[in-house]
Structures are given as structure tokens and as C-alpha cells.
Structure 1
Amino acid sequence: MGDLMDSYWRLPPVSRNIATAVFVSSICVYSGIVSVFTYLSQIELGNPRFPRREDMIWYLVFVSTTIIAIDYFAGFGFGSYLQALILALAYTCTQDQRGAKANFFFVTIPAQLVPYSMMLVSLIAIGPHIAILQLFGLFAAHLYDFLTRLWPEFGGGRNLAPTPGFFSRIVAAPFQRVEDRGFGTVIRNAGSGTSGSSTGASSGGPLPDAWKTRGKGNRLGGD
């Protein structure tokens, strides 16, 4: 290990940085982190079912909690749930892509079959334990889809898993103090609707606040 690290640090800077980038990229692909970011981007930017930030966050909370609950009550004791979350994200992304085609490895398949193909590959290449974990993710995503879309649209009921109201307040809080305008950015004071500072002059007169402590002021040439 020591010889390997010595060889790494003896590399020229450019070669060392490229080697590091390749290594980190390989880890991200192998662990599934890249897949998570890919599917999350599709949900956040291209899925009309999640028009607000809080809707996507609630979806992640609901699906993740369901996966963990299934594992707990089933007694499998999985220590990591990333593969289940990836499968859930893939299912949610592809349900609204019916009729479209997707490239899965070297085969073109209907988009909605991608999550099932992922489970099949995991079953053959890795083993049944990963396929079972992915099944948890499939169930969690389908449960969310049933409660929020299928039952209201086809069962005549109401949304049984709406985004909680406090999620909107939590998500909106960091964005309430900053307001973008065409001529600059205004930072609002907490607890008031007035702007505390801005790119223009402060309220209360044309002079900066710091000048107001210098007295009433006199005109040049005055008494």
C-alpha cells in the first residue's frame, strides 16, 4: 500500500489529477451515486408530478421511510438501502414515459420496463439479496404512485399521501430572506417585510445610514 501511494504522489500533477478523477468516477458509478443524481434530476426538472421542491422532498421521505419500515418488519436487516432507493427512483421516472424507448446496456426496451430489467440483472449477476432489496424500493415507489395518483385518478378517491403543509414552510424558509430583482438582490429582515439591505440606497433618505450619525449637517457657504 505504501509503495502504491508513493507511486501515486510521484506522478506529474496533471496525470495524478486525471487518475484521481477516473478513480472517483468509477467509485461513484459502481456505488450507484451517479444513478441517484441522474434520476433525481429527471424528477426535479422534468416530471410535472413534482412541481415544487417540497413535493420531491416529501417523495424521498415517503419512499425512504417505507423501504426502511419494510426491511424492519420483514427482518432482513439490510445495512444499506441505496439500491432500493435507486430502483424506486427509476420506477417513478419511467412510469410517465410509457411509449418511449430506453437503452438498457446494449438493448432497447420500453422505458417502463427499466426497473424490472435492473432487478433481473441484479438477480443474475449479484444474487437474490440485492434483488429483494430492490423489490422493497419498487413496492415503496408503487405505493406512493398508488396513493397520490392512481387512487385519485382512477379510484375516485382523494390523494392519501399529500405533501405535508409544514414541508412548504421548511423548504421556503431559506428562500424568503433573499429576493432577486432586475437591478440587484434584496435581503429581507427576519420578522418584517421591509428590506434590510439592498444594492441601492437605504430607505429613509438619499444619504447612507452611516452619515446620519454625523449631525444635522450644514450647507457649504452657509452660516
Structure 2
Amino acid sequence: MSDITSLYFSTPPVARFVLFPVLTVATAVFFASVGVYTEMLAIHGFFFHYSMLLKFPPAIHRLVTSFLITSPDLGVLFDTYFVYNYLSQLEKSNSKFSKKEDLIWYLMFVGGVIVLVNQLFTGAILYLHGLLIAICYTATQDQRGMQAHFYVVTIPAQLMPWCMLLAQLLFSGWGSFLLGLTGIFAAHLHDFLTRIYPEFGHGINLIPTPGFLSWILATPRLRNMGYGTGYAPRSDSGSRGGPLPDSWRSKGPGRRLG
């Protein structure tokens, strides 16, 4: 476990997200929310509005930070747990996400739809609850016939996102409820374009995983394996590493002149 932890924190941020998408998202959600609610960070730096893309430089990073803030108080723990739990289910057991790049593309697509729909219709500026409902909806689609626990109540697994949506309505009001609905819409749209239409409409996957994500994972330092992802050394030359080019080192031992 210590080796995994050391590897996680020693990996550059972009590669860390590629290698450990679930752990990275959950960690970012927890620490960003704790920072905001302890007033160490200003919440103004996290929300998103389309006008921020029209400034120079455009605040593109807010398309990510707007998904990092949970509900206050116990919501920090519960929302972080739900994010980690359902993303783990998608990564480990959902057949649509057999590769890490598929899960990363799913988060990018669903997140983009949530932002777009809310900017057009609801005016919401923070989107974690929409994403949480979306990943719950996707994770439970393959669990029909199974049971799940919603706090102290046992329900059919496929009803979990609807129960979470109802809880948002009761505890956070209509704004949070509408945000959750956009999450269900985004998750269902992804399911329709990648599974329902190809299977039942005899078509093709309309939003395949972009090649650049697969290219990132295909680099020598990031290797997909059957039991996980390996982190390869930066050089395969082993003890032959050094400042000299390979062509110089391959010419045999040196000779002293004079």
C-alpha cells in the first residue's frame, strides 16, 4: 500500500489522473471542499459561468473546478464517499469502461453535457451533484436485480439515483434537484450514444473514446496490464544511462590517448 501511495504522490498531475482517475477525483473533491468550508480557499475561484471563457486568458480550468465542491458539513464526507464508491464500480465492474481512457472520456463527456445544459437552462454554477447522480445512474444500470443500501433503507439498485435525487430535493431544494436531473440526462445520453443505439439501432458508437487519450496511455511510462496499470521507468537502458548518446555508448570501450 505504501508503494502505491508513494507512486501516486510522485506522479505528475496529468499522469496521476490517467493512472488513478478514481482516487484523483475523490481526493480533489475532498480537499477542495474542506478548503472552501474552512475558508482557506475562496469559493469564487471554483464556480463556472460561460462569460469566464470570453476573458483573456480564458478561465478554462473552471470547467474542472466547478465539479469539486460538495454540500457543506457532513456532505463533504458523504459526497466524497459516493464519488469514490460509484467511480470505483465503473472502473472495476462496468463492461463499458474496460480501459482507463474510456472512463476518463466518460467523465469528460458527461461533465461537458452537464455544464452545457445547466448554463442554458438552470443557471447553476457548481456541478458536483449533477456528476454524482450521473455516475450513480451509470453504475447501477448493470446492477438490475441486485439490492443496494440507501442510508438505512434497502432498495433495488437501479432506484439509487432516483432516491439520491429525491434526497437532493428534500435537503437542498429545487435548484439541486434540477441539477441532478441534468446528471441523469447526461448519463442516459452517453448510454444511448455508446450502447443503446449501437445494439438496438444497428448503428455505431457515436462518441468513441478519442485517440489522444489512448495515445497518452500507450506511452512507455503508462502501461495497461490485465491486473492494473504499470508505471514504467523513464529509460529502459538500465545501468547504461548517462549523458552520452546511445550511438556513442554502443561503439565499445574507450581508449586513452597519449
Instruction: Compute the TM-score of the two structures, normalised by the length of structure 2.
Output: 0.60
Q: Secondary structure at the match of 2:155?
A: strand
Aligned residues: 174
Contact 2:222 2:232 survives alignment (8 Å): no
What letter corresponds to residue 78 of structure 1 in structure 2?
Answer: A
Match of 1:87 in 2: 133
Match of 1:55 in 2: 102
Match of 1:132 in 2: 178
Match of 2:214 in 1: 168
1:171 to partner: Cα distance: 3.0
Cα RMSD after superposing both structures: 3.1
Q: Deviations over 1:9-32 (max 9, x none)?
A: xxxxxxxxxxxxxxx7956315x1
1:154 to partner: Cα distance: 1.4
Q: Distance in 2 between matches of 1:178 and 1:150?
A: 28
Q: Secondary structure at the match of 2:98?
A: coil
Give me the identity figure in percent: 45
Contact 2:124 2:175 survives alignment (8 Å): no
Q: Secondary structure at the match of 1:157?
A: coil
Question: Which of the residues 205, 227, 235 maps onto 1:159?
Answer: 205
Q: Secondary structure at the match of 2:95?
A: coil
Residues 1:188 and 1:212: Cα distance change in structure 2 (over 3 Å): farther
1:36 to partner: Cα distance: 1.1
Match of 1:198 in 2: 238
Match of 1:34 in 2: 81
Q: Distance in 2 between matches of 1:28 and 1:128?
A: 20
Q: Secondary structure at the match of 2:154?
A: strand
Q: Distance in 1 between matches of 2:223 and 2:193?
A: 35
What letter corresponds to residue 28 of structure 1 in structure 2?
Answer: V
1:66 paired with 2:106, answer: no
Residues 1:177 and 1:98: Cα distance change in structure 2 (over 3 Å): closer
Contact 2:221 2:232 survives alignment (8 Å): no
Instruction: Compute the TM-score of the two structures, normalised by the length of structure 1.
Output: 0.68
Q: Distance in 1 between matches of 2:238 and 2:170?
A: 60
Contact 1:178 1:186 survives alignment (8 Å): no
Q: Secondary structure at the match of 2:218?
A: helix
Contact 2:221 2:233 survives alignment (8 Å): no
Q: Any runs of at least 4 consecutive aligned residues in structure 1 with deviations exceeding 6 A, and if so which? A: 199-202
What letter corresponds to residue 102 of structure 1 in structure 2?
Answer: A
Unaligned runs of 5+ in 1: 1-23, 180-184, 190-194, 203-207, 217-223
Q: Deviations over 1:162-219 (max 9, x none)?
A: 111122112333635999xxxxx97465xxxxx3x226999xxxxx99x945749xxx
Q: Distance in 2 between matches of 1:173 and 1:188?
A: 10
Q: Distance in 1 between matches of 2:111 and 2:189?
A: 12
Question: Which of the residues 164, 169, 173 maps onto 1:123?
Answer: 169
Unaligned runs of 5+ in 2: 1-33, 35-72, 226-230, 243-248
Q: Distance in 2 between matches of 1:186 and 1:176?
A: 6
Q: Deviations over 1:123-167 (max 9, x none)?
A: 122211101001111100000000000111112111111111122
